Structure 1
């Protein structure tokens, strides 16, 4: 079950990196937006990436917890 813990930790780290990437994208979108509608359109494209990274991180944490429980 040690392998499951390490795989889960790696998946969780990738998910956290994805979350940090979306933070960078949002900061760039805020600087580049000319008006409120433009900002909403840009953020609308970033939200699915953010949710996917969050899901990836949660699945990694679930794998870590499962690996610890089964050890």
Structure 2
């Protein structure tokens, strides 16, 4: 099941890397917020491992609530 996540890292992550991870990047003064769909736990761990390999400090990971569609 695909869930949306928000991943905050200290420092800057370029759009090229965010695109490669399948996420959107929003740069804040000292952090980058990555958001987007993750298919499963293995995919989430893969993203986190990649960020760690790049030496980025993980600040926060959270699952975003599902959006409710109005009928």
TM-score relative to the length of structure 1? 0.27
More helix by share: 1
Q: Which has the larger radius of gyration?
A: 1
Greater relative contact order (Cα 8 A, min sep 6): structure 1 or 2? Answer: 1
Higher strand fraction: Structure 1 or Structure 2? 2
How high is the TM-score relative to the length of structure 2? Answer: 0.27
